[in-house]
Every structure is written in C-alpha cells, then in structure tokens.
Amino acid sequence: MLVAPNRSRTLPRGARVLAAGLLTAGIALGGAVPAFAQAETAAPAATAPAASTPAAPQTNPSAATAPSPEGTVDVSKLMAPQALPDIVVGNADAPVTIVEYASMTCSHCRDFHVQSYPKIKADYIDTGKAKMILREFPFDPRALGAFMLARCAGDDKRTAMVGVLFDQQREWAGAENASAALLKIAQLAGMTQDQFAACLKDTELQGKVVAVQTAGQNEFGVNATPTFFINGDKYSGALSADEMAAVIEKHL
C-alpha cells in the first residue's frame, strides 16, 4: 500500500519507459542564454581555528516513531551494479546504506532534499554512520533531462548539481521554457551551450537513465517517489529528518 499521497508521487500508468523523443517532448532547446561568470570569489586568508565544541545534533530520533517498512529487498541485489554507476555520498564502509529513488520534478523529493537531507547528512553521513546513494527514477521528460545533465556534469559534480536542481526546481520544472532555465544551471557547473545540447541528445545516456528506473520498478517494486531503501528496508514517501534518523538508529 502506498503512503498518503501528500508524501510521495506515484508512477503514472504507462510511464514505465519514457518516450525516446526527449527533445521533442517539452524540453527543446530555446534561445541563447548569457553565460554565467565562472570566476569564484577568492577565499579569505586562512586563520588558526578556534577551539570549538561539537555541533549540536540536527535530528532528534527519539521525537519520532520509526515507520514500519513496507517490505525488505535483498541488499546484495540492491547494491549490484546498475546501468549507471552509483555515486556514493559518505563513507563507503558506513554501516547504514540509504538508497533513494527520486524524480527531479517530484516536489516531495525536493522537500526531502531541501529540508531533511541536510540534517541527516550532518548527523549520520558526515559522521560516517551512513552513506547515501540517489538513483534516477524520472517521471517525465523534464526530470529525465535534468538527470542527464547532472550525469554530464561529471561524477565529481553530480551530487552538487542534483542539489541545485532540487533547490531551484520551481524555477525550471514548471517553466514555459525549461531548457533556458536548465541551461543556466548547467552553465554554473561549467557546461557550455554546445555541451548542454549534446548531453540532451545523448541517446545512450538517456537509455541508461531509463534502465535505472526500470530496474528500480521491476526488481525492487519502486512505484512512487521518493522511495528509500535503508539497509534493504523499503519506505515510500518523504520521511522527515527525525523519522529517517529513527530508522537509521535501528540499524546502528
């Protein structure tokens, strides 16, 4: 059973495989957009760090009841190589593994990444207790295009690009000219307009993104975003930071 609809977005009927005509399905290239300046402001001179106390926890797992998982999948199968390589955020040897299937145009995914993820990252990922893997599960051509651009930015920039795309989702996902809005974000990652266009025309990459989605649906029963697998336990819907912390604590 799916969670309440205000916490997840379900896969539309017939949308398992996205249309191949990405550039003709709502994300066609628009007019030229002025390139963003690439120069960064020089950092101030380093100073000796002052003595500090440990940062206060960002989550309070005792304030939430860990939701019951909807099921469990074989972790070895879940972590098997995908059509696209997993980008791991955190210590690869962390005892807790969080795999998220998300769509870039899903507002519930955006809310999780903007509101809950930074707290989970501070308390569990940055401390070596958990690692995070985000896998592509696009619902529409715009989400597919955004995921492709994040991959084209390079493995070292993909996580940051995904973060910016979620932060600015309202600006591009519903824009009349999504291409122009996405081009601005791509330029921030150092992409030229020619590289941007070439990325969106890369049918091999497009096929791999769709393959990750199809595997998530067929092999692990993903049909809503976000869907999380925490050490193999499945949770559909956007968990609050405290709810996810409570689940993580069960595995530590």
pLDDT tens track for 207-216: 999 999 999 9
Average pLDDT score over residue span 217-226:
95
Domain with residue 173: its CATH number is: 3.40.30.10
Inside any domain, residue 44: no
Inside any domain, residue 165: yes
**pLDDT tens-digit readout, 85-112:** 999 999 999 999 999 999 999 999 999 9
What is the per-residue pLDDT for 43?
Answer: 41
Inside any domain, residue 106: yes
Give me the chain's average pLDDT, please.
84
Average pLDDT score over residue span 5-20:
51
Domain encompassing residue 199: 56-250
What is the per-residue pLDDT for 28?
Answer: 46
- Pick 15 or 50 by higher pLDDT: 50
Inside any domain, residue 51: no
Q: How confident is the model at residue 52 (pLDDT cuts 50, 70, 90)?
A: low
**pLDDT tens-digit readout, 20-46:** 444 434 444 433 333 222 333 334 445
DSSP class of residue 56? P
Inside any domain, residue 103: yes
How far apart CA 185 and CA 142 sit, in angstroms, is 14
Inside any domain, residue 109: yes
What is the per-residue pLDDT for 107?
Answer: 94
How far apart CA 214 and CA 223 sit, in angstroms, is 10
What is the per-residue pLDDT for 123?
Answer: 97
**pLDDT tens-digit readout, 229-245:** 999 999 998 899 999 99
Tokens in use for 244?
């996810």
Which element (helix H / strand E) includes 181?
helix 178-188
Whether pLDDT at 1 is above 60: no
Nearest by Cα to 186 from 25, 42, 33: 33
Nearest by Cα to 144 from 8, 4, 17: 17
Specify the pairing of strand 233-236 against strand 71-72.
antiparallel
Inside any domain, residue 102: yes
What is the per-residue pLDDT for 8?
Answer: 63
Inside any domain, residue 240: yes
Domain count, the chain: 1
Whether pLDDT at 6 is above 60: no
Average pLDDT score over residue span 47-57:
67
How far apart CA 37 and CA 177 sit, in angstroms, is 22
